[in-house]
Chain A
């Protein structure tokens, strides 16, 4: 009998199989021939993505950790969209590390968020793609986060890829939470974040009293 591990306290499900599936799922998936055009289905996925991202935001903002209870999650961001086994990611969070993030914020000593910044998120350009399995859809969305801090505002933009799986208990069978579950966010990879510089107030220019000289003639062999 297979041992059941609590993903909050240990990390067994991040293994070779998961990495292989992740890389395969997020390779060559944003294809025109796989785009879902059915407006009702697209709308359904748009709402799911908006809800999930809003949920994540709310989760971190309010520090309510139980929202993700009993879900195996993975949030990853690879700058080069490479293989996360061979490249570091901006972040690659399993369930435990997501809880780490929340725990850290709750300590009150996370100086990068003390005082907490206010954020506004916008999600747009939600696109849905079919896969070779009818129970799995891939969804791409763009985001823009405005962060307001005492010394100014900064903007973070990027995109998210979600792999959404229709769970086995979708047809009225109770899920782990006791409630029928329809579509479940699965590992999301390639959340590409680009940090834009904060607006800066520069000091007034001053006269440089000394003569500044570089090497007069760099070599040109």
Chain B
């Protein structure tokens, strides 16, 4: 458990502040979002201590494939080595610190440093040093190999890594959040998806603003009012997209659940009719919607509805602390840059139908699914990011210290606790 990580690093961070004073039951202090010292502590004591999402197996499908990512601020080469093992190498030459790989993706058995030509196998092992006679040392010493993240593991295609040798297993760290992850995957044939490019955004604000927001059902009707109006502008009945937010989020059937270890889950599925075609019925209009729906119905009859649901956005926010969310059909990754700058990447996902479960409809489903996934980053996320930036600006008022997050607190019956001591309810901040 995160709370039990009693290491020297945690103790050193504890000296920074009285954390119980900064994070209270009903409010948090502005310094949590604005203090560079806290940000630095987070890079070490959170991103350097828990399981952090790095990438999806479909991004490195073959041996020797790699992508370059970051673990906190650390540049990382995530790869399958020549034997097929997942590794997360520090993207840093042992010799003088130069990054070894400058591409975002590719395939390589060997990484050669552009500076002095030291080369490494994709296992991290030092392969060769130019003119070694100039050194008296033994280059077989493992201290000359590329440093790497000691623990890399995958949960159903999602690859995580941790620098913490004392961390629990990935499965234990994920804990109860595996259930919604499983449900998210298992609506696809054989539970498989593939990453298919990304919308890359950035904002001038702290990374936690985005993570917090992914569990916030209170903001939608205000922050996304333009989107709600837009996607219903031609609807006979205004029920498209996130229209279920138009009333109070407290009385809608959706709920928020705290899943332990910082993970949370906003489950909006209870707002949707539970039937084949229920998701497609509320999906906003997208390029090609009418053509593909008509074509699939012509070919598949009643079965077309469940096929169309695969092109529709799954109404969930599955948030795995600290940097990973499954939103709709997207994999969203939060990448801190500095205390007031964050990259937010929305990876699109495609359906993979290896055994023909969809009867040959997979190409049509994906053509439509690509278009539905472009909607929220274009018309919703941009307004979230504008608000995050304005929060960061507002928090410069240093004398006004507190941020309130107590919606639902102390209201009888609002929050329930299940047998795993996880909290469920409609406390939408």
Q: Which residue of A lies closest to B224 (CB)?
A: A109
Is B172 engaged at the interface, CB distance under 8 Å to the other chain?
Answer: no
Cβ of A205 and Cβ of B374 under 8 Å apart?
no
- The reply to whether A87 and B370 contact each other, CB–CB distance below 8 Å, is yes
Q: How far is the CA of A92 from the CA of B288 in the complex (A)?
A: 11
Decide: A203 and B348 in contact? CB cutoff 8 A. no
Measured CA separation A78–B370 after assembly (Å): 11
Tell me the minimal C-beta distance from B367 to chain A in angstroms. Answer: 4
Determine whether A173 belongs to the interface, using a CB cutoff of 8 Å to chain B. Answer: no
Chain A residues positioned under 8 Å from B243 (CB to CB):
none
A5 to B229 Cα, complex, angstroms: 23
Q: A211 — which chain B residues lie within 8 A by C-beta?
A: 12, 15
Q: How far is the CA of A123 from the CA of B36 in the complex (A)?
A: 40
B145 proximity list for chain A (CB < 8 A): 220-221
- B48 close to A215 (CB less than 8 A): yes
Q: Does B13 contact A (CB under 8 A)?
A: yes
Interface residues on A, range: 35 or more
Tell me how far the C-beta of A64 lies from the nearest C-beta in chain B, rounded to whole angstroms: 17
Q: How far is the CA of A89 from the CA of B199 in the complex (A)?
A: 7
With a CB–CB cut-off of 8 A, which chain B residues contact A209? 15-16, 37
Inside 8 A of B292's CB, which chain A residues have their CB? 15
Q: Which of A77-107 touch B at CB < 8 Å?
A: 78-80, 82, 84-94, 96-97, 100-101, 103-105, 107
* CB-CB under 8 A for A151 and B366, given A200-B341, A220-B124, A221-B142: no
Interface digits, B224-239 against A, CB 8 Å rule (1 contact, 0 not)? Answer: 0111011101100000
Known: A89-B370, A218-B148, A221-B145. A213 touches B287 (CB 8 A): no
Known interface pairs A210-B16, A213-B12; A219-B44 also in contact (CB < 8 Å): no
By the criterion CB–CB under 8 Å, are B288 and A94 in contact? Answer: yes
Q: Is A14 an interface residue (CB 8 A)?
A: yes
When distances are taken between beta carbons in the complex, the residues of chain B under 8 Å from A151 are: 204, 389, 393
**Which residues does chain B contribute within 8 Å of A74, judged by CB atoms?**
287
Interface residues in B294-336 by Cβ distance below 8 A to A read: 294-295
Q: Among residues 34 to 69 in chain A, which have CB atoms less than 8 Å away from a CB atom of chain B?
A: none
B113, chain A: closest CB distance, angstroms? 15
Closest Cβ–Cβ distance, residue A186 to chain B (whole Å): 15
Q: Which of B178-186, B377-385, B416-424 contacts A (4 or more CB under 8 A)?
A: B377-385
Cβ-defined contact, A80 with B197, below 8 A: yes
Complex partner residue of A214 from B44, B165, B229, CB under 8 angstroms: B44
Query: Per-residue CB proximity of B187-202 to A under 8 Å, as 1/0?
Result: 0000000001111111
Q: Is B99 in contact with chain A by the CB < 8 A criterion?
A: no
Report if B267 contacts A (CB, 8 A).
Answer: no
CA separation between A88 and B376, bound complex, in Å? 12
Residue B411, interface by CB 8 Å: no
What 0/1 readout, one digit per residue, does chain A (8-40) give for beta carbons within 8 Å of chain B?
A: 011111111001000000000000000000000
The bracket for how many chain B residues form the interface is 35 or more
Chain B contacts for A202, CB-based, 8 A = 338, 340
Q: Which residue of B lies closest to A100 (CB)?
A: B230
Chain A residues positioned under 8 Å from B275 (CB to CB)? none
Q: From the candidates B36, B48, B200, B382, name the one contacting A112 in the complex (CB within 8 A).
A: B382
Cα A10 to Cα B348 with chains together (Å): 24
Q: Once the chains are docked, how many angstroms separate the CA of A211 from the CA of B41?
A: 10
B8 at the interface (CB under 8 A from A): yes
Please, which residue of chain A has its CB at the minimum distance from the CB of B229? A107
Complex Cα–Cα for A184 and B367 (A)? 26
Q: Are A88 and B199 in contact, CB atoms less than 8 angstroms apart?
A: yes
Does B290 touch A at the CB level, under 8 Å? yes
A10 to B36, CA, bound (A): 50
Q: In the complex, how many angstroms separate the beta carbon of B205 from the nearest chain A beta carbon?
A: 11
Whether a CB of chain A sits under 8 angstroms from the CB of B29 is no
By the criterion CB–CB under 8 Å, are A210 and B202 in contact?
no
Instruction: Give the contacting residue for A92; candidates B34, B149, B287; CB below 8 A.
Output: B287
Q: Is B213 an interface residue (CB 8 A)?
A: no
Choice from B291, B348, B379 contacting A14 with Cβ under 8 Å: B291
Q: How long is the Cα–Cα vector from A93 to B374 in the complex, in angstroms?
A: 9
Whether B287 pairs with A97 at a CB distance below 8 angstroms is yes
Interface bits A194-207 vs B (CB < 8 Å: 1, else 0): 01011010110110
Question: Given the complex of chains A and B, what is the CA–CA distance between A79 and B164 in angstroms?
Answer: 35
**B199 cross-chain contacts in A, Cβ below 8 A:** 88, 90
Q: Which residues of A contact B40 (CB under 8 A)?
A: 208, 212
Closest A residue, CB atoms, query B371: A92
Q: How far is the CA of A85 from the CA of B373 in the complex (A)?
A: 12
Q: B358 an interface residue at 8 Å Cβ cutoff?
A: no
Cross-chain contact A213 with B291 (CB below 8 angstroms): no
> Does B289 have its Cβ within 8 Å of any Cβ on chain A?
yes
A112 to B292, CA, bound (A): 32
Residue of A89, A195, A208 near B374 (CB, 8 A) is A89
Interchain CA distance A90-B346 in the complex, whole Å: 10
What residues of B have a CB within 8 angstroms of the CB of A215 in the complex? Answer: 9, 48, 163-165
Nearest residue (CB) in A for B194 is: A86
- Contact check, B288 vs A88: say whether CB atoms are below 8 A apart: no
B276 at the interface (CB under 8 A from A): no
Partner of B386, one of A16, A111, A213: A111
Query: Given the complex, which residues of A lie within 8 Å of B15, measured CB to CB?
Result: 209-211
**In the complex, which residues of chain A have a beta carbon less than 8 angstroms from the beta carbon of B143?**
220
Other 18 A-B pairs with CB < 8 A, given A74-B287, A89-B197: A11-B288, A11-B290, A79-B198, A85-B370, A89-B370, A89-B374, A96-B287, A101-B379, A104-B379, A109-B229, A111-B226, A197-B341, A203-B36, A209-B15, A209-B16, A210-B16, A213-B8, A220-B146
User: Can you report 23 A-B residue pairs in the complex whose CB atoms are below 8 A from each other?
Assistant: A11-B288, A12-B290, A79-B197, A79-B200, A82-B197, A85-B366, A86-B370, A87-B197, A87-B370, A90-B199, A92-B371, A96-B285, A97-B287, A100-B233, A103-B230, A103-B233, A110-B226, A112-B383, A208-B37, A210-B41, A215-B163, A215-B164, A219-B150
- State the 7 A-B residue pairs at the shortest beta-carbon distance, nearest first: A88-B348, A14-B288, A218-B147, A220-B145, A94-B287, A109-B225, A112-B382
